[in-house]
Copies of this chain bind each other. A is one copy, B any other.
């Protein structure tokens, strides 16, 4: 539990409570206030920002709805645990997904090397050709059998610590979630017939339908990682639940 700041600058753009929300959000997403950090109390924030309590409260309430902070009476307001891939399409936690289905989860690293981004890769991940990138290939196993094939590229400029991580025991997805707070992700989902290589790795017949999920993840405009997941089409469903606006 780190302690928080004594003065915080506003940007003067738009309503006061939005400025306050952005100022606080900034410290959370840029890592200055890591998960667990106690934010100043509402009364302290009133002084820090020179605003009424209702105004400060509006900002904090928003941050809470967005899942960035957790608030408890008497205890205070705290930076929430890693902003998880929440609500819609929980495709982040492959281990949990497999275990929730009653199977034993396994993980095997197949390839790991550092490369320079090609034009195509740079286009996918969002960086520039020539960027140093860590390329990983791994298999997620269900009861020992291949279930999901993961091809991942990590921009080392965005995540230097990844260079020294082995990724031979822990999957890169959870590792990244714990190391960098992401702020935006884009998915692309489509179907392909398995080629020889994919079929061999996933232990299916060539030509079998595979569900492919691609995801690019950013942290504050900076592209971090691009991942392509091959699901055995006959054994996997992505599930999502929606409301017109998210309300109950």
Report which A residues bind B (CB closer than 8 A).
Answer: 21, 25, 54, 62-63, 65-68, 83-86, 88-89, 181-193, 207-212, 231, 233-234, 236-247
Minimum CB–CB distance for A99 against chain B, Å: 20
- Chain B residues with Cβ below 8 Å from A209 are 191-193, 209-210, 233
Considering the complex, give the chain B residue whose CB is closest to the CB of A208: B193
Known contacts A247-B25, A247-B66; A242/B88 CB under 8 A: yes
A210 to chain B, nearest CB (A): 6
Bound Cα distance A199, B212 (Å): 20
When A and B form their complex, which 7 residue pairs have the shortest distance between CB atoms, in order from nearest? A66-B245, A191-B233, A83-B244, A191-B191, A209-B209, A191-B211, A67-B245
**Are B244's CB and A68's CB within 8 A?**
yes
Copies in the complex: 2
Also in contact, A243 and B88, with CB within 8 A (given A189-B189, A209-B210, A210-B209): no
**Is B187 a contact of A240 with CB atoms below 8 Å?**
yes
Name the one of B86, B181, B234, B247 contacting A68, with C-beta atoms under 8 angstroms: B247
Query: A137 to chain B: closest CB distance in Å?
Result: 21
User: What would be 20 A-B contacts, judged by CB atoms less than 8 Å apart?
Assistant: A66-B245, A67-B244, A83-B245, A85-B242, A86-B244, A88-B240, A89-B240, A185-B242, A189-B238, A189-B240, A190-B211, A190-B236, A191-B209, A191-B210, A193-B193, A193-B207, A193-B209, A209-B209, A209-B233, A246-B246
Min CB gap A184→B, angstroms: 6
In the complex, the answer to whether A183 meets B243 with C-beta atoms within 8 Å is yes
B189, A237: Cβ atoms closer than 8 Å: yes
The listed residue with most B CB atoms (<10 A of its CB), out of A62, A68, A183, is A183
Contact A65 B207 (CB under 8 A): no
Given A208-B193, A209-B193, decide whether A183 and B244 contact each other with a Cβ distance below 8 A: yes
* Nearest CB in chain B: distance from A235 CB, A: 9
**Structural contact, A211 and B208, CB atoms closer than 8 A:** no
Query: Which among A62, A85, A193 has the greatest number of chain B C-beta atoms within 10 A?
Result: A193
- Which residues of B sit under 8 angstroms from A189, Cβ to Cβ? 189, 211, 237-240
Q: CB distance A185 to B83 under 8 Å?
A: no
- Least CB distance from A177 to B in Å reads 11
Residues of B within 8 A of A62 (CB): 247
- Determine the distance from Cα of A66 to Cα of B236 in the docked complex, in whole angstroms: 31
